[in-house]
A and B are shown apart, each in its own frame.
Chain A
Amino acid sequence: GENVEQHPSTLSVQEGDSAVIKCTYSDSASNYFPWYKQELGKGPQLIIDIRSNVGEKKDQRIAVTLNKTAKHFSLHITETQPEDSAVYFCAASRLSGGYNKLIFGAGTRLAVHP
């Protein structure tokens, strides 16, 4: 069935360092890959997304890369700040005719230490 694996489950970095979170998806028909950040007591917030016709996308300190052949996608956060501390979720979806069922990874708890 559809599955998304996410690693690592926890990540601890020093402020200013980079953080990388990796995901693997099983459904080769997946074509949409969003990343969400969830802070304590809040709902998931979209931080960046990528579609299968693009290999890389960047937004300031955040970048996402996609390798369709290997069915891998990764989130890269540079120059981390304490406010980046949160749980990050990757997800995959097969967009088609308004159908948009997100399959989420298990999440990565990122701690950025000052």
Chain B
Amino acid sequence: DSGVTQTPKHLITATGQRVTLRCSPRSGDLSVYWYQQSLDQGLQFLIQYYNGEERAKGNILERFSAQQFPDLHSELNLSSLELGDSALYFCASSVEDTQYFGPGTRLTVL
């Protein structure tokens, strides 16, 4: 158990819908990262937040957005969902260099 929690574990929704994925980092970790894992793209970095502020951005679609709240938990919002958005979404947290990953949220778009 990494200490990073993610909810929900599974999410099934339809095209065009909007969903919110939630992540609670390890106690004391200020950085939160979001990654997408799909069969054809592998593990892709989406975005990093540090103490509430955006720190780094990857190939995150404009339909996706994230934020980190004062209690350091983070949410990833995915809107206008397409079939291709079906994937595992991982959150990770760190206090220095080492990133610890949560168990992931499996999103299925039908």
Contacts and interface: CB of A to CB of B under 8 A. Distances in A.
Interface of A: 32, 34, 36, 42-46, 49, 51, 89, 91, 93, 95, 98-107
B98 A104 contact: no
Nearest to A106: B42
A66 B63 CA distance: 38
Contact of A98 (B2, B35, B55, B100): B55
A60 B42 CA distance: 29
B104 A100 contact: no
Contacts of A102: 33, 35, 43, 45, 99
A100 B48 contact: yes
A43 B98 contact: no
- Would you list the 6 A-B pairs with minimal beta carbon distance, nearest first? A43-B101, A104-B43, A44-B101, A101-B56, A106-B42, A43-B103
B50 interface: yes
B44 to A, nearest CB: 8
Interface of B: 2, 4, 31, 33, 35, 42-45, 48, 50, 55-56, 58, 90, 94, 97-104
B2 to A, nearest CB: 7
A100 B49 CA distance: 10
A5 to B, nearest CB: 11
16 contacts: A34-B98, A42-B104, A43-B90, A44-B43, A45-B101, A46-B99, A89-B43, A93-B97, A99-B56, A100-B31, A100-B56, A100-B97, A101-B58, A102-B45, A104-B44, A105-B42
Given A36-B101, A43-B101, A101 B43 contact: no
A42 B4 CA distance: 12
Given A51-B97, A102-B99, 12 more contacts: A34-B98, A34-B99, A42-B104, A43-B4, A43-B101, A44-B43, A45-B101, A100-B94, A100-B99, A102-B33, A103-B45, A106-B42
Nearest to A43: B101
